[in-house]
Amino acid sequence: METNKKLQAHSAIFAANTIFGLGVPVTKLLLDEWVTPMGYMASRSLGAAIVFWLIALWQTKVCGKPSEKVSRRDLLTILGGGLLGFVISQTLTAEALNYTSPVYFSLIATLTPVATMLTAALLIGERITPMKFAGVLIGIGGALLMVFMSQSLGSGKNDLLGIGLALLSVLTWALYLIMTRHVATRYSPVTQMKYVFLISAVVTVPIALPELQHNALFTSAVGWDGICEMLFIVLGATALGFFLIPFAMRYLQATTVSIYTNLQPVVASLVAIAIGQDVLTWDKPVAGILVLASAYIVTVVASKEGKREK
C-alpha cells in the first residue's frame, strides 16, 4: 500500500510540474496580451479559491465527508505558506516573465532543489556535504552564465531584472516547501489549498481592482484565446497543480518534490521556442546542463553520499 502511495505521489508531482512547465509560456501570452501581473495574480487566486471551496462543500454536502478541523497553529502555517508560496512567489514569477523570456525563467526555476537545500541548512540545520557544495557552485555557474549572456543574447525587455526576480521567486518557493512540510502530512490537499487561495484572494483582489479596467481580459476587447489561456492557468496550473503538490508532499521528501522542477524548463522551453516566444541560443542549453547537473548532484548524488556515511 505504501509503495502504491509513493508511486501515486511521484505521478502527481510529475504531472504538476508538466502543467507548470506549460503554464510558463501560457502566462507569458497572458501578460503580453491580456492582463497586468497583479490582474493575473488576482484572477488566479480568486478562481482557485472558488474551485477549492466548492470542492470542499461538495465533499461535505454530497459525499458526506466531515470537514477537517485545522488547529490554530497549523492554520497560521497554511495561511503563511499561502502568502509566501503563492502570493509572493507567484507574483515574482509574473513580474519575472514580464521582463525575461520563458526559457531563462524556467532554467532559473530548476535551481529550486539548490535553494531548498540551502534554506534547509539555514533554517533546520541540514548539513551541507562537500558534494552538495559542489552542486551549489555548478548551479551558481549556470545562473551566472544566464546573467552575463542575457545582456547580448536575451530576448526579454530586461532579462537581468527578470532573472533576478525569478531567483527571488525560487527562494520564496523553497521557503514554502520547508515551512509547510509537516503540515502537508496532516491535512488533505483540498483543506490546505482552500485556505491558501482564500488568503491569496483576500490580499491580491483589492490590490488589483483599480487596474482591472486596463486589463483587456476584463473589457469588451477580450477574445476566446485569452479566456482559454486564463482557464488553463486557473484550473490547470493553479487548482490542479497546487492540489497535486501537497498530496505528493505527504509521501515524498521536500528535496524529492523539488527535483521534479527539472521538468519545467524542458516543457516550457520546447513550447516557448515552438510558438516563437524565444529563440534557441548557445547559452541556454549550456546553462540548462549546468543547472540540471546541479539539481542532480544536490538531490541524488549527495543523498547517496549521505547514506554511505551513515
pLDDT digits 0-9 by tens, 125-152: 667 777 777 777 787 787 777 767 665 6
- Comparing C-alpha atoms, which of 237, 297, 296 is closest to residue 262? 296
Q: Is the pLDDT confidence value at 306 over 60?
A: no
Model confidence pLDDT, tens digit, residues 284-295: 788 778 877 777
Q: What is the mean pLDDT of residues 213-231?
A: 90
Find the mean pLDDT for residues 25-53: 92
Residue 255 pLDDT > 70: no
Q: Would you place residue 249 in the very low, low, confident or very high pLDDT band (cuts 50, 70, 90)?
A: confident
Contacts within 8 Å (CB) and 24+ apart, 187-192 = 187/68, 187/70, 187/74, 187/78, 187/246, 188/68, 189/242, 189/243, 189/244, 189/245, 189/246, 189/247, 190/52, 190/55, 190/56, 190/59, 190/243, 191/56, 191/68, 191/70, 192/78, 192/246
How many percent of the chain have pLDDT more than 90? 30
* 3-class DSSP state of 68: coil
Specify the pLDDT at position 302: 53
- pLDDT tops 60 at residue 310: no
The percent of residues above 70 in pLDDT, for the chain, comes to 90
Mean pLDDT of the chain: 83
pLDDT beyond 70 at 192: yes
Find the mean pLDDT for residues 20-26. Answer: 91
